[in-house]
């Protein structure tokens, strides 16, 4: 299966973020996610052996391979820098795919004056 390269994604730490994805197989065919499961993983750039976040996504349109991942503000507290995001998908036949990955940049939140 070929891996799709996701466009760069950016966010400010300590904020909410909604990510939307479509899952494809190696031939560019949309995966049927009916009865499947999706996970979003984040690791430091250059160190895929260290998983910082692993979040279960919500399948929104299973036959169209569409799903969302929601990052709560507490998920990214203290993160700053370049990371790698990767998708892990289990389709309706229980086949496991890692169809996409890409750069994920997190910028520090500016400390507010009190």
Q: Based on the structure, what is the number of domains in the chain?
A: 1
Q: What is the pLDDT of residues 54-102, one digit of tens each?
A: 999 999 999 999 999 999 999 999 999 999 999 999 887 888 888 889 9
| Domain contains 114 | no
Contact 44, 8 (CB under 8 A): no
The range of the structural domain enclosing residue 99 comes to: 4-107
| Domain contains 69 | yes
| Domain contains 36 | yes
- Sign for the CA dihedral angle at 105, 84, 37, 73 comes to negative
Q: What is the pTM of this model?
A: 0.89
| Domain contains 19 | yes
Q: What is the pLDDT of residues 44-53, one digit of tens each?
A: 999 999 999 9
| Domain contains 112 | no
Provide the CATH number for the domain around residue 37: 2.60.40.10
């Amino acid at each position: 299966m070929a891996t799709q390269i996701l466009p760069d994604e950016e966010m400010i730490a300590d904020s909410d973020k909604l990510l939307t994805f479509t899952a494809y197989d190696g031939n560019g065919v949309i995966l049927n996610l009916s009865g499947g499961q999706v996970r979003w993983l984040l690791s430091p750039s250059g160190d895929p052996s260290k998983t910082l976040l692993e979040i279960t996504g919500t399948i929104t349109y299973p036959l169209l391979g569409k799903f969302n991942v929601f990052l709560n503000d507490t998920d990214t507290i203290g993160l700053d820098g370049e990371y790698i995001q990767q998708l892990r998908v289990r389709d309706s036949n229980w086949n496991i795919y890692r169809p996409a990955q890409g750069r994920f940049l997190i910028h520090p939140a500016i400390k507010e004056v009190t």
